[in-house]
Chains A and B, each alone.
Chain A
Amino acid sequence: MADPLKTADITGNAAADLTAAAPEAAVAELPPEVVAQSLGEYVRAYVARIRAGESGVLPVVMAMVAIVVVFQVISPNNVYLSPGNLVNLFQQSAVIMVLAMAEAFALVLGEIDLSIGFVGACGAAITVQLIQPATTNWPWPLAVVAGLLFCLVFGAIQGTLITRLHLPSFIVTLAGYLVANGLFLKILLFGPFSGYPNLIGQTDNLHFIYNLMWGTIDPVVSWIGAGVVVAALGGFIWFSDSRRRTSGLVAPPASLSLIKIGLIAVVAIVVVGICNLNRGVLIVQEGVPWVIPIVIAVLAAWTILLGRTKYGRYLYAIGGNPEAARRAGINLSVVRTTAFMLCSFTAGIALLLYASYLNGMSNNVQAGYYVLYAVAAAVIGGTSLMGGRGKPLHGVLGGLVIGAIYNGMYLLALSFEWQYIVTGLVLLAAIIIDAVSRRGSTSGSVSRV
């Protein structure tokens, strides 16, 4: 007698569960800032999305915390979180960050560019060679332009082959990788330091390139600069959000805008604060390294290009649905070719920072697997390998994660064998995250798989 009742109860529960799950699933598909009218709603929508597998930047932050805790505990003398090492970590990450922002142009299209490590290295080597006082002694602006121009041309050739001849980008850029690797070694051989052109010397040009990574900004100027950046960004966020709110457009609640601005301010204060601590061992060494504003400038420029211009919109459209883009009258060949040019160009900036970090160029430059770091960084940050989804900010966040691992392994003096293995595993983990997050969600590029 109790049995049928029990069954009825179970089915009743099941039905209730099903109906309860449906609206939650619908909410989970939407970005929280699109549907939320208040902070409470935003938090609920965000939790629903995490449950549905759309976790946003949360895994990056969690991975970062885990990495920092582990390395802080196991690093010799707990040196990992010392100001000196943190600044060093920023500097090492900067190359990967900029390279990952470069790779974003290819990844958003659903393509990949394996060549950018050595293409950028060629550009940087050209710059370093041209400013050598013993030979050409070019002024640094001209030498930098020449190096970046090389990258643009190389990217244009690869992009043209990929778009006009419909060749797979994987193969074209793999060939480009080998060609650029050879060219790079050739370029190194010129001049008096055959094989090892460096930045040692007393000319302003050499100093300038060296300072890209090692130069620091006076602590007071650092604080003022950070204040100006936070005020400008915060003001922009606040005024554009509140204008949208008052004109009835889709906008986040005011409390959320304030939290965003607060987070930016906290990050700025922490970064500048750490950099302004004296990290010198024998002499006073303090201030924000030049490389941080350089990375922020690249991030700002490419965020505006991708997020707020027609060109960026077309890039995402092509990555999401090339046929829709074609029918909308978008010139696919031009957009895709220029994307590969911008990819190589940005890589030129990244490897110039690398040259500055190494105080010159040599065949020790591990540009080959820096590309893999860059791809992994972009994917860890949230960019999809399948195209249509990704932001420059993803490269910066992912680059910080990779840099944190790289730096930790360096402190532990892990051998090269282990570094290779860890690099491989990190790349694999990134791809698994990408695949799992796509399977868990309905948005983004899932329909193209």
Chain B
Amino acid sequence: MTTAQVATEEPLLKIRELDKHFGPVQALYHVDLDIPPGQVTALCGDNGAGKTVLTKCIAGIYQIDHGQVSWEGHPVHIHNARDAARLGIETVYQDLALADNLDIVQNMFLGRERLRNGLLDEDSMERSAAETLSSLRVTTVRSIRQPVASLSGGQRQSVAVAKAVMWNSKLVLMDEPTAALGVVQTRMVLDLIRRLRDKGLAVMVISHNLNDVFEVADNIAVLYLGRMAVQDKASNFDRQSVVEYMTTGGLGRSSGRPAKDS
């Protein structure tokens, strides 16, 4: 089924036979992954399955040992976060990487400030930040000049996402976006993910939470002990089968579904 997908639509990001090890520990082994444009791909897996390592390889934080990475059909080498950003890959980490003491605008432009006559162009940055936030319909914040310290968890997540999509990005990687959030805040973030997809962005969400996965994901990929156990359309899974892939790497006898076909 993975191959069928490739035939119908060129994936935005195509990874083949990716290996990554840390000293003697093989973290990822021959991993294949397709991320189609304009869809939400969920990356699942138990603790230590290699989800975060794979994400960091895509984001340019880690260097891959072997394997091919293609972006929009062209082979690429992502050496650092700047390379990833140049391609249009932005990452929202679990800790969000926001500076509490800076306000929303300052955080969104951190590291890419606009200047006028050598000084910060606050007016222009504030206008762009407001546009991005309203396009994502992030409207619950009282003022975009309030420090991030005064925001709720969901609002922080929204700011981190807005920061990621402001740069003509095509793929947004999100590491456990709902892990620390309550029910209402989780809903807010899931809506946000859907809006990103509606804007034509590809989203890869790492998540343990199968409720969230089934709610937003178009595709599901499951890592098991550093190998890609399965990747397929979300409609071809149910909760039971995802859990089995996560815990055993394959479908057991009890499920009655065919084993993975790749």
Contacts and interface: CB of A to CB of B under 8 A. Distances in A.
A316 B145 contact: no
B143 A35 contact: yes
Q: Which secondary structure characterizes the binding site on chain B?
A: loop
Nearest to A441: B149
A330 B119 CA distance: 17
B120 interface: yes
B1 interface: no
B101 interface: yes
A316 B98 CA distance: 12
Interface stretch (B108-116, B187-195, B207-215, B240-248): B108-116
A313 B106 contact: yes
B143 A250 contact: yes
B120 A317 contact: no
Interface in B121-155: 122-123, 126-127, 142-147, 149-150
Contacts of A31: 145-147
Contact of A324 (B81, B99, B144): B99
B119 A389 contact: no
Contacts of B103: 34
Given A29-B149, A309-B120, A327 B93 contact: yes
A250 B95 CA distance: 28
A168 B102 CA distance: 25
A134 interface: no
A226 interface: no
A308 interface: yes
Nearest to B151: A29
B82 interface: yes
A345 B119 CA distance: 22
Contacts of A446: 100, 149
B118 interface: yes
Contacts of A330: 110-111
B143 A34 contact: yes
B111 A329 contact: yes
B97 interface: yes
B149 A444 contact: yes
B113 A313 contact: yes
18 contacts: A29-B147, A30-B146, A34-B145, A35-B143, A247-B127, A249-B123, A309-B120, A316-B99, A317-B102, A321-B98, A321-B101, A323-B95, A324-B99, A324-B107, A324-B110, A325-B111, A328-B112, A388-B99
Given A247-B123, A319-B101, A327-B81, 13 more contacts: A31-B147, A34-B146, A35-B142, A243-B123, A249-B127, A250-B126, A309-B120, A316-B99, A316-B102, A317-B106, A321-B98, A327-B97, A388-B101
